[in-house]
Amino acid sequence: MGPLETSVMQRLWAVEQPQTVREVQEFMATDRTIAYTTVMTVLDNLHGKGFVTRERQGRAYVYSPRETREEYTASLLGNALADGGDRRGVLMHFVDRLDEEALASLRQLLQEPGNDPEGVP
């Protein structure tokens, strides 16, 4: 996802309700000048790539993210892990970069029932 697509997705994730092109454009225009047609093209591209769903409401489409921000981020991490070569090495370097709070959360998740670290490929 490019920077403009990311900005649009951040807006959709933040409001947690379907948005029209105009609603996204008006919000983004508070930070920078951006044309309605640019936002429309970005949303159309995001729809084509499967990142958003769209539904007709009257004369306009409303757009919603297909995944939550957390689900999307998890898929990025999964792709990086799959494409990163040595999984153990990638995980080791990832864990080394975690702050104490994130590390504590990870430990807690691994100790919860059903999250057997031995069962992870």
Each of the 121 residues of the chain gets a pLDDT tens digit; together they read 899 999 999 999 999 899 999 999 999 988 889 999 999 999 999 999 999 999 999 999 999 999 999 999 999 888 888 887 888 888 888 889 999 999 998 889 888 877 665 555 4
Q: In terms of residues, how long is the chain?
A: 121
**Phi, psi dihedral angles at 86 (to 5 degrees):** -70, 110
Classify residue 108 as exposed, middle or buried by CB count within 10 Å of its CB (0-12, 13-18, 19+). exposed
**53 contacts 63 by C-beta, under 8 angstroms:** yes
pTM: 0.75
**69 contacts 79 by C-beta, under 8 angstroms:** no
Which residue, 15, 23, 57, is CA-closest to 43? 23
